[in-house]
C-alpha cells in the first residue's frame, strides 16, 4: 500500500500521533515535499502492520524525481 493511501484513512493529526511526528511533517509527506526518514519509515511500516512497505513509502518520490528530471532534460 502506498503511504498516501494509508494517510488518507486519517487526519494529519491522527497520523502524526500514531507515527510520533509533527502534524506538519505528515502534511509534507502528503504533498511529497519531504520523504520520511528511514527510522520514520520503519515506524510507519510497524504502525500499518506491514500494509505500507518500503516501496509504498519511497516509490512516489522516485517517480516524482524521474518526472522532474525528464522535465529538465526534455
Domain interval for residue 47: 3-73
pLDDT attached to residue 26: 98
Burial zone of 36 (CB within 10 Å; 0-12 exposed, 13-18 middle, 19+ buried): buried
Nearest to 3 by CA among 27, 67, 65: 27
pLDDT above 80 for 70: no
| pLDDT for the residue 65 | 86
pLDDT tens-place string over residues 20-59: 999 999 999 999 999 999 999 999 999 999 999 999 999 9
Please count the structural domains in the chain: 1
- Cα 9 to Cα 3, 5, 41, 44, 72: the distances in Å are 10, 7, 17, 14, 34
DSSP class of residue 74 equals -
Amino acid at each position: 500500500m502506498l503511504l498516501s493511501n494509508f494517510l488518507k484513512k486519517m487526519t494529519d493529526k491522527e497520523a502524526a500521533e500514531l507515527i510520533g511526528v509533527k502534524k506538519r511533517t505528515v502534511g509534507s509527506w502528503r504533498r511529497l515535499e519531504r520523504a520520511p526518514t528511514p527510522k520514520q519509515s520503519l515506524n510507519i511500516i510497524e504502525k500499518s502492520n506491514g500494509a505500507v512497505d518500503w516501496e509504498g513509502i519511497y516509490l512516489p518520490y522516485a517517480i516524482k524525481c524521474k518526472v522532474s528530471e525528464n522535465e529538465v532534460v526534455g
